[in-house]
Amino acid sequence: MNDLPQQLASGLILGAMYGLIAIGYTMVYGIVQLINFAHGEIVMFGAFGGLTAWLLLPQGTALALALPVMLVMAVGVSVLVGIGAERFAYRPLRNAPRLAPLITAIGLSIMLQQLIWSFYPDAKKARTFPQFSGDSVELLGANIQRGELFLLIAAPVCMIALGFFVAKTRTGRAMQATSQDPDTAKLMGINTDRIIVTAFAIGAAFGGVAAIAYGLKYGQIDFKIGFILGLKAFTAAVLGGIGNIYGAMVGGVVLGLAESLATAYIEHIPGMELFGGGAWKNVWAFVLLILVLLVRPQGLLGERIADRA
Amino acid sequence: MRHRSLLIITTAVAAGSLTLSACGSRGDDSGGKGGDKSTVTIGLDAPLTGDLSALGQGIKNSADLAVKTANKKQEVDGVTFKLQALDDAAQPASGQQNANKLVADDKVVGAVGPLNSNVGQSMQKVFDKAGMVEVSPANTAPELTQGTDWRTGKKQRPFKTYFRTSTTDAIQGPYAAQYMYNEKKLKKVYVIDDKKTYGKGLAATFKEEFEDLGGKVVGTDHVDPKEKDFTAVANKVAKAKPDFVYYGGEYPAGAPLADQAKKAGLKGPVVGGDALFSAEYVKLAKKNSEGDIASSVGAPLETLDSAKEFTKNYEAAGYKLPYEAYGGYAYDATWSIIQAVKAVAEKNDGKLPEDMNDTREQVVEAMQDVKFDGVSGKVGFDEFGDTTNKQLSLYEVKDGEHKPVKTGTFEEN
């Protein structure tokens, strides 16, 4: 079992990426009770934004130098798409029945995919993303790719920054208030429209960071990556307790570890030989989700709240 | 406001239906009594968009070249050929829709395609019902021509309208197994497939032969080709320490799998079938594709005399994308339909039968006896509709390019 550290590390890295994306779902849901199914595509746009930055930089630029530019571009594109989605797809439906924005979100996600498919050069097949050269780094018995180090640094930095923002700044506290009760918050003089846009923007910014991490990790991106990423991140958000920022991170990590460990070890359990391996990882991830929700319907870190009347 | 939106909708519907009816009454009938020339269409189905579009576009361009060459040379007197290319995006359902569309068009005499074996499976029945010939340049799953029981030796041809110019996985997998075991002297393999018709079959035939030779399979796994994250499987592979990995599947998943397995610590090459034999594979797996091996049907086109003219003409035609792994086979598949049409016309005093159904029926019959020197070598079909040309090659990635390392015909052990 000496590959356990390796599988744990892989699961943790994958989970950190899911978690970063899940934060976008969770924040938006926490404030407007909307499941933004287009969030995966916002991440996908970020990835293409990062790639564009790389292509625009002079050839031969070192990746370490290019990375800040790519990051800024990815986050910028994601935030723009996120704010645009809020302004044009969701705000007009703010007071509509809950189902309407959900359907809009699905429509928006398909539209965003097709935009890249139609207009981004050569995006009909996978595009290669720049990667760090050099050997992997050994850490506590596990090999970590250089590209993955980015994620291991970025995820905690983002979390701490977000935690500080929500707890200490005026806007952060206004966000907490809005998420508890938007109507009362409005009566207290909080500009809820601005708060909602902020939530979208922060979620999208984290998505942009995750997009760069995705590109560096896998070395290729395509117009479809948002779908599975979005689904996994949504699962992570629900697993951790949707609406809870730390829950999103915990849910992501749990999901990543579950996928990694299930692929590696389930087939060694006697009688389960047929159900292990790579093709089954999503099955086990979702079995885990169902089990957790059966025991704790509010998710791992979620609070039990009475349904709004 | 209500009235205005109603007006807009009505206008849109009216405009839409006008456009549609215009399509329906397409009146460019040049066949029949207008002159001696009649035009027939050759249908084509391949993934023109999506992950496998590099291969699909190569097929389309090569078929287009065959049609243009036939028209220029007036290969069939009094008959002009036209190519109608449809996109299946590698989806069986789209392939079947396209097949239905081609069958319903009474200008279409036969079809070239598709690329994927599972798409081929969904199209066979449609063509068979309509009695229209289908020649695939790339389907390699044995059951398409030899029935589902081919492994047990009970070979039975399911559809007499289906032919192919590529050899099957029944020999592609074993050919690679023999090379890896006998010549590369690598005895431990980890076998992975994507559970699709093509990948599963290829991995199974490889595994069987490799074990027969005395090689050891140290592990097997399956991956979902829709994903890009194979790190967990890659870690398992690295832990099992095989001499190499055999992957039954296509390059969009094969390339990241090879990349991630090598990053995780796999020392040997990743070996696979013709669906890894693409420049895209090298592009996506980058440096980690060095040393990887792909088998492909036929001999390397660059080395065949019969192919020199093809490569020259292909370049001269100025297609934007290369002909890729199946270009030569697509050209030969198209050419075989043209030859079958020629045989039918000769049989009927230089004219095609009035009724397209008769033409189609006779083309299917004629196809069985078609023989010519094609781009990929001698083209002809056996009693199952398989090509009689059993040549195979292996290519290794060196300096970022697939270079041929071995070519020959498969010998049973």
DSSP per-residue codes, B322-377:
--TTTHHHHHHHHHHHHHHHHHHHHHTTTS--SSHHHHHHHHHHHHTT--EEETTE
A220 backbone dihedrals φ, ψ, rounded to 5°: -155, 150
pLDDT interval class at A266 (50, 70, 90): confident
What whole-number distance in Å separates Cα of residue A231 and Cα of residue A233?
Answer: 5
**A289 has a pLDDT exceeding 90:** no
Which pLDDT score, from 0 to 100, does residue A2 have?
A: 63
Q: Does A41 touch chain B (CB under 8 A)?
A: no
Q: How far apart are the first and last CA of chain B?
A: 79
Mean pLDDT, range A45-61, rounded to an integer? 93
**A91 has a pLDDT exceeding 60:** yes
Could you tell me the mean pLDDT of each successive run of 10 residues in chain B, 413 residues long?
53 52 42 61 93 91 96 92 94 94 94 94 94 94 89 88 90 93 95 91 93 95 90 91 96 94 93 92 91 89 84 92 90 96 92 91 94 89 90 92 89 67
Q: Does A128 touch chain B (CB under 8 A)?
A: yes
**A144 has a pLDDT exceeding 90:** no
Indicate yes or no: CB of B232 within 8 angstroms of CB of A263. Answer: yes
B405 backbone dihedrals φ, ψ, rounded to 5°: -115, -20
Tokens of B9: 């909708």
Indicate yes or no: CB of B232 within 8 angstroms of CB of A260. Answer: yes
The minimal CB distance from A143 to the residues B51, B195, B264 is found for B264
CA distance B336 to chain A (A): 31
The minimal CB distance from A3 to the residues B49, B192, B235 is found for B235
Q: Which residues of A touch B225 (CB under 8 A)?
A: none
pLDDT interval class at A305 (50, 70, 90): low
Which pLDDT score, from 0 to 100, does residue B306 have?
A: 81
Q: Does A282 touch chain B (CB under 8 A)?
A: yes
Tokens of B30: 């040049």
Nearest residue of B to residue A125, measured between CA atoms = B51
Output the CA–CA distances (angstroms, integers) from residue B136 to A226, B277, B327, in the order listed: 34, 18, 12
Mean pLDDT, range A66-87, rounded to an integer? 96
| Cis amide bond preceding B114, omega within 30 | yes
Which pLDDT score, from 0 to 100, does residue B15 have?
A: 53
Q: Does B235 touch chain A (CB under 8 A)?
A: yes
Which pLDDT score, from 0 to 100, does residue A135 have?
A: 76
Sheet holding B162-164, edge to edge: B79-87, B38-46, B108-112, B133-136, B162-164
Q: How many CB pairs under 8 A join A and B?
A: 89
Q: Does A14 touch chain B (CB under 8 A)?
A: yes
Strands A142-144 and A137-139: what pairing? antiparallel
pTM reported for the whole predicted model: 0.78
Q: What is the ipTM of this complex?
A: 0.77
Q: Which residues of A touch B286 (CB under 8 A)?
A: 128, 131, 219
Indicate yes or no: CB of A281 within 8 angstroms of CB of B284. Answer: no
> Does B327 or A304 have the greater pLDDT score?
B327
**Cβ contact A70:A212 at 8 Å:** yes
Which pLDDT score, from 0 to 100, does residue B34 have?
A: 40
Sheet holding B188-193, edge to edge: B216-222, B188-193, B244-248, B270-272, B293-297, B391-398, B401-409
DSSP B286: G
**Cβ contact A75:A82 at 8 Å:** no
Preferred mutation among B233, B263, B288 to probe A, highest tally of A CBs within 10 A: B263
Q: Which residues of A touch B231 (CB under 8 A)?
A: 10, 13-14, 260
The minimal CB distance from B256 to the residues A13, A125, A220 is found for A220
Q: Does A220 touch chain B (CB under 8 A)?
A: yes
> What is the number of helices (H) and of strands (E) in chain B?
13, 14
Which pLDDT score, from 0 to 100, does residue B234 have?
A: 92
pLDDT interval class at A304 (50, 70, 90): low
CA distance A217 to chain B (A): 9
**Cβ contact B280:B54 at 8 Å:** yes
Cβ-based neighbour number of residue B64 at 10 Å: 20
Q: Which residues of B touch A121 (CB under 8 A)?
A: none
* Mean pLDDT across chain A: 89
Indicate yes or no: CB of A10 within 8 angstroms of CB of B232. Answer: yes
Nearest residue of B to residue A282, measured between CA atoms = B224
Preferred mutation among A113, A136, A152, A218 to probe B, highest tally of B CBs within 10 A: A218
Which pLDDT score, from 0 to 100, does residue A226 have?
A: 93
Indicate yes or no: CB of B235 within 8 angstroms of CB of A282. Answer: no
Indicate yes or no: CB of A128 within 8 angstroms of CB of B284. Answer: yes
Mean pLDDT, range A208-221, rounded to an integer? 94
Which pLDDT score, from 0 to 100, does residue B11 have?
A: 54
Per-residue pLDDT tens for A159-196?
999 999 999 999 999 998 988 888 899 999 999 899 99
Q: Which residues of B touch A263 (CB under 8 A)?
A: 232-233, 236
pLDDT interval class at A273 (50, 70, 90): confident
pLDDT interval class at A272 (50, 70, 90): confident
Among A residues 144-183, those touching chain B with beta carbons less than 8 Å apart: 145
Q: Does B222 touch chain A (CB under 8 A)?
A: yes
Indicate yes or no: CB of A125 within 8 angstroms of CB of B283. Answer: no
Nearest residue of B to residue A256, measured between CA atoms = B232
CA distance A188 to chain B (A): 38
Q: Does B283 touch chain A (CB under 8 A)?
A: yes
Q: Does B53 touch chain A (CB under 8 A)?
A: yes
What whole-number distance in Å separates Cα of residue B196 and Cα of residue B250?
Answer: 10
Mean pLDDT, range A9-16, rounded to an integer? 93
Nearest residue of B to residue A131, measured between CA atoms = B286
Cβ-based neighbour number of residue B258 at 10 Å: 30
Q: Which residues of B touch A225 (CB under 8 A)?
A: 228
Q: Does B369 touch chain A (CB under 8 A)?
A: no
pLDDT interval class at A214 (50, 70, 90): very high
Which pLDDT score, from 0 to 100, does residue A95 have?
A: 85
